[in-house]
Every structure is written in C-alpha cells, then in structure tokens.
Amino acid sequence: MSTVPVLTVENLAVAYQTRGGDVQAIRDISFEIARAQTFGLVGESGCGKSTTAWAILNFLGPNGAVKRGRIQFQGQDLLGRTAEELRRLRGDQIAMVYQDPMQALNPSVRIGEQMKEVLTVHRGLSDVAATRRCVAMLERVYMPDPEDILRRYPHQLSGGQQQRVVIATALLNNPALLIMDEPTTALDVTVEAAVLDLIAELRRDFDTAILLITHNLGVIARTCDQVGVMYAGELVERAAVADLFADPQHPYTQGLLRALPRLGADKADSVLYPIRGRVPLPGNRPSGCLFAPRCDYAQELCRAERPALRLLPNGAWVRCHFAEEIDPAAWVPRDDFVPPRPQPAASDSPPILTANGLKKYYSLPGNSLRDILGLGEKRFVHALENATFAVLRGTTLGVVGESGSGKSTLVKTLIGLEASSGGEASFLGFDLTGDLSGRDTALIRELQMVFQNPDATMNPAYTVGYQLARPMRRLGIVPRSQIRAEVVRLLESVRLGENYLDRLPRQLSGGEKQRIGIARALASRPELVLCDEPVSALDVSVQAALLNLLLDVQREYGTTLIFIAHDLSAVRYISDQVAVMYLGEIVDIGPAEAIFAPPYHPYTEALLSAIPSPDPLARQQRIRLAGPVPSAVNPPGGCRFHTRCPRRELLPDGGRICATDIPPWRDADDGHRILCHIPLETLRALPPVGAAPTATSD
Amino acid sequence: MLVRDCMTRHPIMAPPTMLATEAQHLMHENDIRHLPVVGDGKRLLGLVDRMSFALDPGALPSLDLWEITRHLSRLSVMDVMTPADSVATIPPDHSVERAARYMTEHGLSCLPVVEEEAVVGLLTKADLLNAFQVLLGLPAEGVRVTMRMPDQPGEFAKLTAVLGRQSWGVMGMGTFPTPRREGFYDAVVKICGVGVDEVLAVLSQVTGQEVVDIREVV
C-alpha cells in the first residue's frame, strides 16, 4: 500500500553531557529501513552503534540528547514529543532485543510471568488468553515443551534458550520494528546459527523491519539486506549486502574485510592485515576525515576537509573523497607492516607435551541428608575425559568446541589451577597431574598462560612495567639490575614502546592490554604458553594484529602454543594441530588442514557449517544441532554426541550402536583421528562444508 | 490464499488523541487513504478515511473563517473517525475471496484485519488487486494461455497431464465459467521458460479443448 519506510533516520546527531562539555557521540547518521527488511549496523566498539539504537528508542539516559536530525517511525516524528505521546506512538510497535539475554530477563520471576506481562499490561488480555499466545509464540521459536518453559526461572534455561525467550517476548505484540543489539554475540556458534536462522524466518513471517547491530561481518552477511558501516560515530558506507562484500568502497570497510580470518585460510598462505591505530575517542576526533589518521590513502584533502556521504554510481553511499580512485585489489601493505612469517611446522620435532587419558572430575555436592553425612553416592561433573594428545615443540595446538565442552578445564588442568583426577600428562619431563602448589618453580617458569579478559587479569593499581617485572623477580629470570632492560625488550617484542612502562592498565586500549597480557606470559621465557580465548573480546582489526603478534612471538622464541577459541576461523589461521572437544572429550584431532576438510567428525562438520561466513554469496550447508548440550554430570552413554548427531542415521539400524558402544578412534591419514562409529569411507563421501574452499584439495 | 497472506502488515495507525489536521497530514505524506485509530494494545477504536475530514457545516455556528479555523484546530481523530462498532473488520484466517465479496457487497474499500482484538493488518482494494495479479503470475515472464474446456470432471486433468509431460512450470493459474457459454470453463495458465509457438503446438493437440487466447506477456 504505502512505500514509506518503517524507520527513517536523517542526519541524526547525539551528544552526551559530561563535566568537560558536550561529547558528540554520533553525527550525520542517515538510513532507512523498509518493511520486512533487515538493516545491519557494523563497526568496532565505540563507534556509536548502540547509541544510534538508543536514540531511536529515546533511551539515551539523563545526560544524552539528540542534538540534530530527525527520526521518523512510520511517517511520524519520534523526536520532540512528550513521554506519553511517545508511549502511545511507539507503544507496542517497536521492540528491542539486547545482547545479554540474562540481563533482559528478570532472574527472580518465572518466564511465564515475564512473557504474559507484555500481553496483560499492554493489551489487557486475560491471563488464559495471554498464556495461550505465549505458548504459541514459544513454539514458533522452536522451544521444546513450552508449557514447562513458562514455569521455569531464567537460570534454568541455556543461553540459547534464554535468547529465544527474549526474541519471542519481543515478537508477542507483533512489532513493526525490531531492534537487535548484538543478539548472538553472547552465544555459541552452533546456537548462534540457529538463532540467525530463526531471525531470518521470523522476519519473513511477520514482515518486521529489523535493525541489527553487530560487530560480526559474518552475521551481517547471513541476515541483512542493507548494511551501514559505522566508524567513530559516523556512517562511512551504506550499501546492499552483496555489494558491500563484493566491492567495498570505503578504506575502512576494506580494512575490516582484510582483517577477518577466513575459514579456509591458514597461516602459511594468507596474512591478516590489521588496521593500524585505534578508533579516536569522541572528544578527540580529527577535524578532516575521521578515518584519515588510519587510512593508507589519506591525502592533504582528507586531513583538511570532512567528506560528505555521497552516492556512487554503483548505488553505494560512501563517505570518502577518493572512493572512485581507490582500488582495493591494488592495495599493498604499508612498508612498516611486517607480515608474520610463521615457521614451517617441523613434524619431526619431539613432542613437548604429552597427555594420556587425562581426566578431570569435579565432585558435585548433594543436598540430601545422606549426602551431607557422606553416605550418599558421590556424583561428578565429567569435565574432562580421556584427553590424549601430544603437542610438538614450536607448534600450535588449537582447541575448539562449544561452551561447556571442557576447553578451559583442559587448560586449567595443564597449568595446575586444578589437579587432574586421573591419567598422565608430562611436559619436558615434568609431571603435570598435580596442582600448582606442588609444582617446581622451573616448571612454572616454562608454562605460562594468557587469559581471555585482560581487564580482569591485570591489577589496575600497578603500572605495566611493574606487572611485567614481577614474574621476572619471582621466578629469577634475569638479574635484578637487568630487569628494566628486559621489560623494555618484552614491550618491544609485543610492538609497544618503552613509554608504556609507567602506564596504568586503564590508560590502555583493549588490544594494548592483551598485548601486555601476552608480554607477561612471555616474561619468564616459557616453552609453552596456554592462550584461553585471547582474542575473543577484541575487535576484528585488533584481533588480526594480535594473531599476527602471536605468530611472530612463536617464530622468535620458538614457543609452543595451546590456543583455545570458539572462533574456528581464528583457530584455523593460527594452528598447526586442532583438537575438537565435545562434552569433555576430544572427538576429532589432527593437522589443521585435515580437520577442516573431509572426512569430518559429524560434530566438526556441524561446527563448520554453523559459522556465519563473511560472504553473502557463499552457499553453506545447513547442519544444525538439535537440542542443548547434555549435562556433563550424566553424559550420554556410548558416543557422547549421539543425542545430537545429525549423521547418526548413516549407520545401519539408525545408529543404535552409537547409544550403546563407545566409538573407536579411526585413523584418517597423516595423524588425523576421529572418534566415531561411522566408517571413514562414509565420512569421506560427505560433501565438504561450503565455506572451506580448501576442502576439495585432497 | 488467506487474508493474512495478502494484507498490509504493520499499517500506519493513529492514537485517538491525534489532531485531525495532523492525521490528514500523515495520510497525505504517506499517500494512504485509510488510517485505523487504535488505543492501547492496538485495539481498534475507529477508522479514518479521506471522507472523514469533510467539514460538517452543522457543527459550525457560522461560516466565519475564524470560526472554521478554530473548529478545525480543536478537532481530534476521535471526533472525525467512524467508530469501531460501525467499522467492518475481518480476521486474518478468512479467505481472500470471501473478503473481496464482503467488500463488494458492502461497498467498502478497506477492512481492518483484527485478531484477538488487536489490529494486525489492513486489507484494501489495492491489496486484493495485488493478490489478483500474483494469482495469475504477473510478476514473472512467460506465456499466458487461455484454454476452453467442457465443464466436466477429468478435463482439467488432461491439461495438467500435458503440462506434466512437458515438465513445464506453471507460475499462475485461474479458472472461471466461460461468460455467455453455458457448460464451458476457461482456464488461464501462465507457463514459464517456453515460447508461444511451442505452447500452441502442444496445447492445440489436447482433445476436446480449445486454445482461446495465447500471448507472451510480461
């Protein structure tokens, strides 16, 4: 009927009042979203993505205000209205889904009460009618047993289920516009895939316009029609999804795409190019083009004059003076960029770490009287079961799996934060089965760790220099007189300068903090560094720089790495060997290129097909795992994966054997081992997962 | 095809407190002819169309320009709308043809689609005309052929059997009793991926049926 967009944002500018004066968070944001269309906003953290969403919802907080511009929802202005007018106008027509489902749900109220509230308060429906609609909506988002879900509390649901509940609640009133702020960032890749499928399907069925905010270009490619790339509070490029990925116009977009590890890429034949520098803070933005200080094409004009968002002949909007002249194909890295030169993995080097049947059980306190008296049967969480692997000196072992698969337990057991419950592990002749208190200093020196969240693992009160010097003092690496020089050398090896010595952690950016984290792990010149999700919390461009840094460090010091990540592309990029874990067990282990090519373990195959590929044209197989990860207290018998395995029916008898017998290790070539009942020939015959172009090479 | 499949979802709606002038502006800006007025929970309160804004001279004490202006500036949507109890509505799970019949019988140009007391969409004449185009396969290119067949069971099966043998894809279809000829039915079929001559050659072989019209349409 009408072709008016559902949402129109025109020249929007938002500023926050601070003691130091107004800080302009975003400016000149313009876009529109048509009915049943998804518009993606992508950019690094601090670029103003969420501020844009909050401005639409008038949710800016007491110190935020829209300074300029227009926001029109279904042809009516949202700005300059009283709260009551706004409530009526917006009413139940705009809904929002936040990043963390646990924060959107009230932990002390049952799911049913929270969902029904939407209908009973907004629509005045009776309790019975509201319940009926909630059940129907939960069924719509594929929640098993919806009546039961309504009676539960949020903590009794898994993360993916919680997010489904939040999405279902948002859709209860059939909104015309749905704003989703990083809806899948907190979820596992397999759950993320299912939620993204759901979003696409719901958009079709409900004709809802969606504003999707994410930092993940893969998510954008999979779900959106139009994308806006934000940088430092401005929209620098706006285009159709296919055009953006095929032919990015703005140097920032090009940089983001170059910094992204692709699933098929490994460290030998591809290089990640980080974007140098960092996003300028709102109070500190340059006067010309905001991206000029980081841009490889910047010229005099860029520093002097701010470019306007203009329409290019191919239909893309871009904020760059020289968009027509820039050819991304002709791009060469700057002279000061040294590509990491990974050393070829020497397959004949001796194993530095071997684990044989390593186990870790956590005992579970019961709460019956018998348990308290110690008479009850002891129950255990089987967090790590029979881990058997060897890591060769100077190579990287990548460990992947969903959350709860035992990746972190493996690392904690190795480093000694937890004593193992059984099995053997030896490292350079040391026994690794006990916990840290019983370990020799010499062992501690050789075995170090990089943590996921640098904020939580650095003491905010100590300077960088002190924090780096501490392990040297404690472990007696260098004489006291040389500590300062050694710290400076370390800082340089992580590409930071001597001027960082006296800084405090709060004066560093996220990427810099993680560099310090790596430097601290290297301070004792260890043989083996365990990295637990070291790049997961970082932006794409910074992540690329850190992956490169790890490769460089490995080459310089010959360090062996164990690298945990849930991002399979990053693992593929950095690892020589990869172990895939499921429910505490290693199910698939071998050289990286073998893991990412057929024959796949069915679980690996599902993980690979779940990754949102940053290429809108890639035709990925859709293998979705049903149901949540089973409990590790009572892991399924036989093959632990049999309850969710999508390939089980390939076996005769519907795979009854999977439920009863523990599967054998099957040896594919060159050290690739798969824990599965399905014969290798059958697994080989499966088609390669579309996103891995190398898959057909063997 | 049901009402829910061809209605306009998420129509622009107005709160009852909106000024009539504002509503007029909104309808003009968005080029729409009907504006449902809804209260909390999208409950239908009334419907505004362009006729609603016609000035009722009886409501004015005089035809003085200021008098008219004052009257207009106070007028809210509530005052001019057709109240909900005299607005005909339709649930989303009714068939399109039934909706169309209802609209023609009662001379309506728009039906708010209401489910559980909430307005979920709007069905207008334009939506029905759109549905009509889609049914006959207009958006895609192909050959549009009209076959005339006797009104008896098995005739249509003959046609589909031929289409099936040729593995031709059908994008749109409609049948209706032939006007002014008792005992015959016309079937309009839109076929894609073939030429007019080919279709004519094959379909003219169907016994007992006649190609009444054939054209390549876009």
Q: Which range is least confidently modeled, A223-232, A255-264, A635-644, B127-136?
A: A255-264
Contact check, Cβ <8 Å, A75/B30: yes
The alpha-helical segments, DSSP class H, found in A159-261 are: 159-171, 189-206, 217-223, 241-246, 251-258
Q: How far is CA A87 from CA A160, A553, B39, in A?
A: 30, 56, 11
Partner residue opposite A122 with nearest CB, options B10, B31, B41: B41
Contact check, Cβ <8 Å, B29/A6: no
| Cis peptide bond upstream of A251, omega within 30 | no
Place of tokens 């952690």: A505
Partner residue opposite A2 with nearest CB, options B32, B42, B116: B32
Nearest CA-CA partner of B2 in B69, B100, B149: B100
What is the model's pLDDT at position A209?
A: 92
Contact check, Cβ <8 Å, A92/B42: yes
Place of tokens 């702020």: A181
CA–CA dist A134, A147 (Å, integer): 9
Condensed to tens digits (0 to 9), the pLDDT of residues A66-97 reads 999 999 988 888 887 787 777 766 667 888 88
Q: Where are the domains of chain A?
A: 1-93+184-260+273-281+289-337, 100-172, 351-579, 596-697
Chain A residues whose CB is inside 8 A of the B126 CB are 1
| HEC secondary structure over chain B | CEHHHHCEECCCCECCCCEHHHHHHHHHHHCCCEEEEECHHHEEEEEEEHHHHCCCHHHCCCCCHHHHHHHHHHCEHHHHCEEHHHCCCECCCCEHHHHHHHHHHHCCCEEEEEECCEEEEEEEHHHHHHHHHHHCCCCCCEEEEEEEEECCCCHHHHHHHHHHHHCCEEEEEEEEECCCCCCEEEEEEEEECCCHHHHHHHHCCCCCCEEEEEEEEC
Chain A residues whose CB is inside 8 A of the B109 CB are none
Choose the mutation target among B10, B31, B117 for the interface with A, i.e. most A CBs under 10 Å: B10
Choose the mutation target among A76, A94, A137, A208 for the interface with B, i.e. most B CBs under 10 Å: A76
Condensed to tens digits (0 to 9), the pLDDT of residues A367-409 reads 777 777 777 777 788 889 889 999 998 889 999 988 778 888 8
One fold for A1-93+184-260+273-281+289-337 and A351-579? yes
Between residues A186 and B210, the one the model is more confident about: B210
What is the model's pLDDT at position A135?
A: 92
Q: Which range is least confidently modeled, A269-273, A357-361, A658-662?
A: A269-273
Condensed to tens digits (0 to 9), the pLDDT of residues A506-561 reads 888 888 888 899 999 988 889 999 998 888 778 887 888 888 888 888 888 889 99
Contact check, Cβ <8 Å, B30/A89: no
Partner residue opposite A92 with nearest CB, options B29, B41, B127: B41
* Structural contact between residues A391 and A571, judged by C-beta atoms closer than 8 angstroms: no
Partner residue opposite A35 with nearest CB, options B10, B30, B124: B10
Condensed to tens digits (0 to 9), the pLDDT of residues A403-440 reads 778 888 899 899 888 888 888 899 988 888 888 888 88
Condensed to tens digits (0 to 9), the pLDDT of residues B143-174 reads 999 999 999 998 999 999 999 998 888 888 99
Cα nearest neighbour of A130 on chain B: B116
CA distance B41 to chain A (A): 4
Assess if CATH 3.30.43.10 describes domain B137-217. no
Q: Where are the domains of chain B?
A: 3-133, 137-217
Provide mean pLDDT across the span A686-698.
Answer: 51
Cα nearest neighbour of A89 on chain B: B15
* Structural contact between residues A480 and A428, judged by C-beta atoms closer than 8 angstroms: no
Condensed to tens digits (0 to 9), the pLDDT of residues B73-125 reads 888 999 999 999 999 999 999 999 999 999 999 999 999 999 888 899 999 99
At A624, list the tokens: 């979705």
Helix B96-106 with B125-135: angle, nearest 10 deg: 140
Q: Under an 8 Å CB criterion, which residues of B touch A?
A: 8-13, 15, 17, 26, 29-32, 40-43, 116-118, 120, 122, 124, 126-127
Contact check, Cβ <8 Å, A74/B122: no
What is the model's pLDDT at position A3?
A: 65
Chain B residues whose CB is inside 8 A of the A123 CB are 40-43, 117-118
Partner residue opposite B15 with nearest CB, options A4, A88, A92: A88
Enumerate residues 6+ apart whose C-beta is below 8 A from B208. B149, B150, B155, B158
Contact check, Cβ <8 Å, B118/A123: yes
Q: Does A89 touch chain B (CB under 8 A)?
A: yes
* Structural contact between residues A289 and A303, judged by C-beta atoms closer than 8 angstroms: yes
Q: pLDDT category, A1, cuts 50, 70, 90?
A: very low
In terms of C-beta density within 10 A (0-12 exposed, 13-18 middle, 19 or more buried), how is residue A658 classed?
Answer: buried
Chain A residues whose CB is inside 8 A of the B131 CB are none
Chain A residues whose CB is inside 8 A of the B8 CB are 1-2
Q: Does A35 touch chain B (CB under 8 A)?
A: yes
At A61, list the tokens: 């907080």
- Backbone angles phi and psi of A250, in degrees to 5: -85, 140
Provide mean pLDDT across the span A635-640.
Answer: 87
Cα nearest neighbour of A7 on chain B: B12
Chain B residues whose CB is inside 8 A of the A1 CB are 8, 11, 32, 122, 124, 126-127
What is the model's pLDDT at position A694?
A: 35
Element (H, E) at A293: none
Residue A277 scores a pLDDT above 90: no
Q: pLDDT category, A693, cuts 50, 70, 90?
A: very low
CA–CA dist A337, A323 (Å, integer): 23
Sign (positive or negative) of CA dihedral A694, A250, A295, A42: negative
CA distance A180 to chain B (A): 18
What pTM was estimated for this model as a whole? Answer: 0.82
Q: Which residues pair with A317 in a beta bridge?
A: A238, A311
What is the model's pLDDT at position A691?
A: 45
Buried b (16+ CB within 10 A) or exposed e, A438-473: ebeeebbbbbbbbbbbbbebbeeeebbbebbbbbbe
- Domain boundaries B3-133, CATH class: alpha beta
Mean per-residue pLDDT over chain A, rounded: 85
Percentage of residues of chain A with pLDDT beyond 70: 95
Contact check, Cβ <8 Å, B42/A123: yes
Condensed to tens digits (0 to 9), the pLDDT of residues A93-102 reads 888 888 788 8
Q: To which CATH superfamily is domain A351-579 assigned?
A: P-loop containing nucleotide triphosphate hydrolases (3.40.50.300)
Assess if CATH 3.40.50.300 describes domain A1-93+184-260+273-281+289-337. yes
Provide mean pLDDT across the span A254-276.
Answer: 80
CA distance A198 to chain B (A): 20
